[in-house]
Chain A
Amino acid sequence: MKPEEYVRMLAEAPRNRWIALSEDESRIVAVGDTMEEATLKAEERGVSDPILALTPNEWNPVVMLES
């Protein structure tokens, strides 16, 4: 999958939600308010081992946290 396609897929995903990606990360198979909800929806759609990500409110440049 080309980076442009991958980025477009993420940019078009609902914001502030958990998204479940297919095992090869080529498509978003489910969206949920929690990790559990997105996972269950993905499993219902036949993706048994999805990869979960959180979409931000805006895709701003990232600065990670210190603790």
Chain B
Amino acid sequence: MRIQYRPQPQIETTVFPDVKYNWIPIIPVRIVDQRLQVKTPQFWAVVDTGSDNCLFHADALKPFKIKLEDGIRGRDLGGIGKQVSIPVYYHDVRVLFATDHIISIRAGFSNELAVPGVLGRNGFFDKYCVTFDHTEEPPCMTIEKIVRKKVN
């Protein structure tokens, strides 16, 4: 599947005066239960090779009546800055995107996440091959499911 990036506001800056907005690789996802009877609304998830794991805002647990703190407490999340880290709890969930793609993953959840979702290396990039193409505008990504034969 080929998905266009979404534009987001860019604060005016003298560093990149010609940049009017940022293009972000986002896909709508939802978290679902085993029978697809309980599910979150669709929400934005950034496709991010820089994230070790898949991460979601803790609000996405509420439809399932799962308590955030009942998950496995992981190491606090940090970015490339030194100062900020946020608590995270891991839960096993199923993520639905593009109508019919479902992945079962262990994902981190936090109330402090600044975005609704992040699709990272463990859980997403180990199942899908993603090509990011910034040579055109709008940029786009191609997402292909990887099917590997089991070797006995």
Instruction: Give residues in A with beta carbon < 8 Å to B.
Output: 3-4, 6-7, 10-11, 18, 20, 25, 34-36, 39, 42, 49-54, 56, 58-67
| Contact between B43 and A35, CB atoms less than 8 A apart | yes
- Number of residues on chain B facing chain A (CB within 8 A): 44
In the complex, the chain A residue whose C-beta lies closest to that of B53 is A67
A34 to B40 Cα, complex, angstroms:
12
With A35-B116, A59-B11, A66-B50 already in contact, the answer to whether A7 and B21 are too (CB < 8 A) is: yes
> How many residue pairs at the A-B interface have CB separations less than 8 Å?
107
In the complex, the chain B residue whose C-beta lies closest to that of A35 is B59
| Residues in chain A near residue B75, CB distance under 8 A | 67
| Residues in chain B near residue A61, CB distance under 8 A | 10, 22
| Contact between B7 and A3, CB atoms less than 8 A apart | yes
The 5 closest A-B pairs by CB, nearest first: A35-B59, A59-B9, A52-B43, A11-B9, A64-B48
A65 to B114 Cα, complex, angstroms:
10
B62 is an interface residue with CB less than 8 A from chain A: yes
B6 is an interface residue with CB less than 8 A from chain A: yes
| Residues in chain B near residue A7, CB distance under 8 A | 7-10, 20-21
* Least CB distance, A53 to chain B, in whole angstroms: 5
